[in-house]
C-alpha cells in the first residue's frame, strides 16, 4: 500500500505546519553553484535531442559528411526530410502505419489484460500478490533477444510471422508489468467501501469492477495506455527479430537497418525526427505518472 | 489480507473449500489471463532457448553449440558485457544521485529541470544510438571532435581501442537510461522524513555526513531495486552498442543477433549464447527474489 497522501492531523502534517514555509528560492550568489550544476546537467540531457533535429534540418555536408560538424547550423534545409520521407522511394508510409498499428494494439491489450490483473493483485493476500508481482517483475528482466528467437520460430510455424499482432504480443511483455504496477497503485488508492457498496446494491463482481471502479481510475488507465503505446513505439529488439523482410517493419527497425548499412542514412535521419516528436510530447505529459514505486515494482524503501 | 486457514484441520471437500477461500480464489481468477500470457510468451520461450542450446539440427543432445562459441570467443564476450554493465551502472547511479538530490531541494526552475532530466526516457534507443554515433564516431570526425578542435585538441578516434569504445557506449547508455534511475531515487528521497536532516544538522552533520548517514540508508531499498533492474537491462544492451561500435568489442547480445541473422532460421548456435546471457540475468533475478523474501 502506498498511502502517501498526508491525512490532516498526521505526524507529517503537523511537522510541516510547524516548519517554516518553503518558497522556491530566487537566484542568489549562495545558490549559484546549484544553478551551474543544473545548467551543466540540463545541457547533457538536452544536447543529443538538439542533435537529432540539428542533423535532420541541416544540409548533410555540414552533418553526416563533415569532418568538423558545426554545433550551430550554418544553413537550414527541408531536403533531408523530403528525401527521407519520400512516399515513392522510402518505406515511410507503410512503416509509419505499421508502427501505429503495433503501438495501438500494445496499448489496448495492456489495458485489457491490465485491469483484471491489477484488480486481482489489489485484492489478493499480500504474500500471493507479492509472488505474482515478482513473476511480472522477472518477465521485465528477461532478455528480449533471448525470448524473441523461439517466439519467431513458433510464429514462422503458425504463420503469424511479421504481423502487427505477433510483434505486439511480444512487446506486450515489456508493457504489461509496468501497466499492472501502475494500475495496482490506482486500485489500492480507492476506498474499500466503494466496491462493497456496489455489491450491496446488487451489482455482480464484474459490474462492480468495470462499472464502479474502472471509471474512477480512468486517469491511470489513460497513462497506462499511453506509456504502453510509447514503449511499443520505441521498442526495436522484438520488432527487429520478429519482422518479416518481405513485409513492413516499424519505424525503429527501419532506423536500425538504415544505420547498420542496409539502407540510406538519410532515411534514418528523417525517420528519427518523425519518431521523436510524439514521444517528447508524451514524456512531458506522462511525467507525473512515471512513479518510482511503480517502475521498481512497488519497492518501499 | 490473508484468509488462509491455519487451524490445521484436515482438507475439506471442494465446494466448502471454494466457499471458505473465494475471497482469495476469485481475485486469483482475475490474474489468470496475465499468467497464461506471460507463461506462453515469456517463460515457455525461455525454456525453449535453453533446450535449443543443447540441440543439433536433428534434435539430438550436444554440447557443440557451447564448444563452438567458446572457440569463437565466448569468454571475451562475457567479460565485455560485464565491464560495460559495471561501468554503465556506476555512471548512471552517480548521475542519478546528483540529479535526485538536486530535485530534493526547492529552487526556481525545479519543475523544468525535472522534465528535462527524464526526457531521454522517451527517445527510442536506435535514435539515441545514431545520435551518439554522430558525437563519437570512429572516423576522427563527429561533434565531440568539433568541440575538442575548438579547444585546440587533436581529434580522437573513439573506437580505436576496445576500452574507449565501451566507454562511449557507457556514456550513450547512461544518457538514455539515467532517467529511470532518477525517477526511482526521487521516489526514495520522498520517503526520507525532513526531520531526520534537521536532527542531523542540529547534531552538527554537514552535507556530506548527512548524505552518508541519512540519505544513503534511506535510499538503500530503492538503490538496490534500481541497480537490479538496470543491471539486468544493461546486460541486455543490444542496438545501442551495435549501432555505435558494431562488433568491436563484441557483446553477448550482438553475437546472438549476428548468429541468428546468419543462421537462416536455425536457432541452435545463437541459443547457446542466449542461454549464457540468461544465466547472467538469472543472477539478478535470484537476488530480487531472495531480497524480496527477506522483506
Check pLDDT > 50 for residue A50: yes
pLDDT of residue B159: 95
> How many CB atoms lie under 10 A from the CB of residue A25?
14
- What's the average model confidence in pLDDT over A234-261? 93
pLDDT of residue B273: 96
Residues 78-107 of A with CB under 8 A from B: none
**Chain B residues closer than 8 Å to A295 by CB:** 180, 183-184, 229
Spell out the long-range contacts of B62-70 with Cβ–Cβ below 8 A and sequence spacing 24 or more.
Answer: B65/B268, B65/B269, B65/B271, B65/B272, B66/B272, B68/B269, B68/B272, B69/B255, B69/B269, B69/B272, B69/B273, B69/B276
Structure confidence by residue, pLDDT tens digits, A138-152: 998 999 999 999 999
How many whole angstroms from its chain centre is CA A90? Answer: 27
For A124, phi and psi rounded to 5 degrees?
A: -70, 160
Question: Cα–Cα–Cα angle for A117, A122, A125, nearest 5°?
Answer: 110
Q: How many CA atoms lie within 13 A of B135 on its CB side?
A: 21
pLDDT of residue B39: 95
In three-state secondary structure terms, B203 is coil
| A196 touching B (Cβ < 8 Å) | no
- The pLDDT > 70 percentage for chain B reads 95
pLDDT of residue A6: 38
Q: ipTM value, please give it.
A: 0.88
In three-state secondary structure terms, B108 is coil
Q: Where are the domains of chain B?
A: 64-294
Q: How far apart are the C-alpha atoms of B254 and B65, rounded to whole Å? A: 17
Task: Name the minimum distance, in Å, from the CA of B132 to any CA of chain A.
Answer: 7
| A180 touching B (Cβ < 8 Å) | yes
Q: Where are the domains of chain A?
A: 40-77, 92-295
Q: How far apart are the C-alpha atoms of A175 and A104, rounded to whole Å? A: 12
Check pLDDT > 80 for residue A13: no
Q: Which of A120, A148, A162 to mutate to test the interface with B (most CBs of B within 10 A)?
A: A120
Q: What is the mean pLDDT of chain A?
A: 86
Q: How many CA atoms lie within 13 A of B14 on its CB side?
A: 0
Task: Name the minimum distance, in Å, from the CA of B47 to any CA of chain A.
Answer: 9
| A277 touching B (Cβ < 8 Å) | no
> How many CB atoms lie under 10 A from the CB of residue A21?
6
> Of A37, A46, A251, which has the smallest distance from its Cβ to B102's Cβ?
A37
Q: Which of B31, B133, B178, B232 to mutate to test the interface with A (most CBs of A within 10 A)?
A: B31
A22 or B260: which leads in pLDDT: B260
Task: Name the minimum distance, in Å, from the CA of A88 to any CA of chain B.
Answer: 24
For B55, phi and psi rounded to 5 degrees?
A: -115, 150
CATH superfamily of A92-295: MetI-like (1.10.3720.10)
- The pLDDT > 70 percentage for chain A reads 88
Check pLDDT > 60 for residue A22: no
Task: Name the minimum distance, in Å, from the CA of A143 to any CA of chain B.
Answer: 6
| A160 touching B (Cβ < 8 Å) | no
3-state secondary structure chain A: CCCCCCCCCCHHHHHHHHCCCCCCCCCCHHHHHHHHHHHHHHHHHHHHHHHHHHHHHCCHHHCCCCCCCCCCCCCCCCHHHHHHCCCCCCCHHHHHHHHHHHHHHHHHHHHHHHHHHHHHHHHCCHHHHHHHHHHHHHHHHCCHHHHHHHHHHHHHHHCCCCCHHHHHHHHHHHHHHHHHHHHHHHHHCCCHHHHHHHHHCCCCHHHHHHHHHHHHHHHHHHHHHHHHHHHHHHCCHHHHHCCCCCCCCCHHHHHHHHHCCCCCHHHHHHHHHHHHHHHHHHHHHHHHHCCHHHHCCCCCC
> How many CB atoms lie under 10 A from the CB of residue A46?
14
Q: CB–CB of A264/A258 below 8 Å? A: yes
Q: What is the mean pLDDT of chain B?
A: 90
Q: Do B2 and A51 touch (CB under 8 A)?
A: no
Residues 53-82 of A with CB under 8 A from B: 55, 63-64, 66-71
Confidence of residue B8 (pLDDT cuts 50, 70, 90): low
Check pLDDT > 70 for residue A300: no
- The pLDDT > 90 percentage for chain B reads 67
Task: Name the minimum distance, in Å, from the CA of A17 to any CA of chain B.
Answer: 13
pLDDT of residue A25: 54
**Chain A residues closer than 8 Å to B221 by CB:** 299-301
Confidence of residue A62 (pLDDT cuts 50, 70, 90): very high
| A182 touching B (Cβ < 8 Å) | no
Structure confidence by residue, pLDDT tens digits, A245-254: 888 999 999 9
Task: Name the minimum distance, in Å, from the CA of A212 to any CA of chain B.
Answer: 17
The mean-pLDDT minimum among A44-48, A260-264, B122-126 falls in: A260-264
Check pLDDT > 90 for residue A232: yes
Structure confidence by residue, pLDDT tens digits, B163-203: 999 999 999 999 999 999 999 999 899 889 989 988 998 98
Check pLDDT > 50 for residue B36: yes
Residues 210-269 of A with CB under 8 A from B: 230, 233-234, 236-237, 240-241, 251-252, 255-256, 259-260, 268-269
Confidence of residue B19 (pLDDT cuts 50, 70, 90): confident
- The answer to whether the bond into B231 is cis (omega within 30° of 0) is no
Q: Do A147 and B229 touch (CB under 8 A)?
A: no
Q: Do B30 and A143 touch (CB under 8 A)?
A: no
> Of B184, B256, B274, which has the smallest distance from its Cβ to A292's Cβ?
B184
Q: How far apart are the C-alpha atoms of B219 and B185, rounded to whole Å? A: 7
Check pLDDT > 80 for residue B1: no
> Of B3, B118, B142, which has the smallest distance from its Cβ to A69's Cβ?
B142
> Of A24, A41, A297, which has the smallest distance from its Cβ to B108's Cβ?
A24
User: CATH topology for B64-294?
Assistant: MetI-like fold (1.10.3720)
Confidence of residue A5 (pLDDT cuts 50, 70, 90): very low
Strand partners, B55: B61
Confidence of residue B84 (pLDDT cuts 50, 70, 90): very high
Q: Which of B4, B126, B176 to mutate to test the interface with A (most CBs of A within 10 A)?
A: B126
Per-residue DSSP letter, B122: G
- The pLDDT > 90 percentage for chain A reads 55
Amino acid at each position: 500500500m502506498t498511502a502517501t497522501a498526508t491525512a490532516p492531523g498526521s505526524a507529517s502534517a503537523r511537522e510541516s505546519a510547524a516548519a517554516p514555509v518553503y518558497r522556491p528560492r530566487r537566484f542568489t550568489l549562495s545558490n549559484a553553484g546549484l544553478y551551474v550544476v543544473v545548467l551543466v546537467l540540463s545541457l547533457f540531457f538536452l544536447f543529443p535531442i538538439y542533435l537529432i533535429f540539428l542533423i535532420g534540418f541541416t544540409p548533410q555536408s555540414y552533418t553526416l559528411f563533415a569532418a568538423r560538424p558545426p554545433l550551430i547550423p550554418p544553413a537550414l534545409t527541408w531536403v533531408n526530410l523530403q528525401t527521407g520521407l519520400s512516399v515513392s522511394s522510402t518505406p515511410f508510409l507503410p512503416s509509419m502505419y505499421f508502427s501505429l498499428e503495433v503501438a495501438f494494439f500494445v496499448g489496448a491489450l495492456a489495458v485489457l489484460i491490465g485491469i483484471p490483473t491489477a484488480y486481482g493483485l489489489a485484492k489478493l493476500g499480500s504474500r500471493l500478490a507479492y509472488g505474482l508481482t515478482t513473476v511480472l517483475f522477472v518477465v521485465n528482466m528477461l532478455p528480449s533477444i533471448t525470448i524473441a528467437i523461439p517466439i519467431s520460430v513458433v510464429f514462422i510455424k503458425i504463420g503469424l510471422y511479421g504481423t502487427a499482432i505477433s510483434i505486439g504480443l511480444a512487446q506486450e511483455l515489456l508493457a504489461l508489468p509496468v501497466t499492472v504496477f501502475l494500475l495496482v497503485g490506482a486500485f489500492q488508492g480507492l476506498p474499500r467501501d466503494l466496491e462493497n457498496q456496489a455489491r450491496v446494491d446488487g451489482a455482480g463482481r464484474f459490474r462492480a469492477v468495470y462499472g464502479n471502479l474502472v471509471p474512477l481510475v480512468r486517469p491511470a488507465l489513460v497513462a497506462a495506455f499511453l506509456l504502453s503505446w510509447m514503449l511499443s513505439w520505441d521498442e526495436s529488439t522484438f520488432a527487429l527479430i520478429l519482422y518479416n523482410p518481405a513485409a513492413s517493419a516499424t519505424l525503429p527497425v527501419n532506423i536500425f537497418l538504415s544505420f547498420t548499412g542496409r539502407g540510406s542514412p538519410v532515411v534514418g535521419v528523417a525517420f528519427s525526427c518523425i519518431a521523436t516528436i510524439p514521444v517528447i510530447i508524451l514524456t512531458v505529459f506522462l511525467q507525473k505518472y512515471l512513479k518510482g514505486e511503480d517502475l521498481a515494482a512497488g519497492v518501499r524503501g | 489480507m490473508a484468509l488462509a486457514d491455519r487451524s490445521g484441520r484436515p482438507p475439506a471437500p471442494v465446494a466448502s473449500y471454494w466457499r471458505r477461500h473465494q475471497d482469495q480464489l476469485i481475485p486469483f481468477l482475475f490474474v489468470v489471463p496475465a499468467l497464461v500470457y506471460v507463461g506462453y510468451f515469456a517463460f515457455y520461450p525461455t525454456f525453449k532457448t535453453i533446450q535449443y542450446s543443447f540441440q543439433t539440427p536433428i534434435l539430438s543432445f550436444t554440447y557443440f553449440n557451447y564448444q563452438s562459441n567458446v572457440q569463437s570467443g565466448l569468454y571475451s564476450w562475457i567479460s565485455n558485457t560485464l565491464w560495460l554493465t559495471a561501468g554503465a551502472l556506476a555512471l548512471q547511479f552517480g548521475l542519478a544521485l546528483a540529479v535526485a538530490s538536486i530535485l530534493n531541494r526547492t529552487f526556481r526552475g525545479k519543475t523544468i529541470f525535472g522534465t528535462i532530466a527524464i526526457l531521454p526516457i522517451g527517445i527510442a534507443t536506435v535514435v539515441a544510438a545514431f545520435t551518439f554515433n554522430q558525437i563519437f564516431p570512429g572516423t576522427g570526425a563527429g561533434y565531440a571532435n568539433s568541440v575538442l578542435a575548438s579547444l585546440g585538441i587533436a581529434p580522437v578516434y573513439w573506437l580505436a581501442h576496445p576500452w574507449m569504445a565501451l566507454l562511449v557506449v557507457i556514456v550513450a547508455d547512461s544518457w538514455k537510461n539515467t532517467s529511470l534511475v532518477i525517477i526511482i531515487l526521487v521516489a526514495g528521497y520522498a520517503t526520507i522524513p525532513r526531520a531526520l536532516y534537521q536532527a542531523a544538522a542540529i547534531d552538527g552533520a554537514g552535507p556530506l555526513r548527512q548524505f552518508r548517514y541519512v540519505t544513503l540508508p534511506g535510499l538503500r531499498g530503492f538503490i538496490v531495486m534500481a541497480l537490479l533492474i538496470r543491471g539486468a537491462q544493461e546486460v541486455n544492451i543490444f542496438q545501442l552498442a551495435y549501432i555505435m561500435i558494431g562488433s568491436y568489442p563484441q557483446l553477448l547480445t550482438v553475437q546472438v543477433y549476428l548468429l541468428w541473422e546468419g543462421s537462416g532460421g536455425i536457432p541452435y548456435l545463437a541459443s547457446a549464447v542466449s542461454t549464457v546471457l540468461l544465466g547472467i540475468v538469472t543472477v539478478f533475478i535470484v537476488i530480487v527474489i531472495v531480497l524480496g523474501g527477506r522483506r
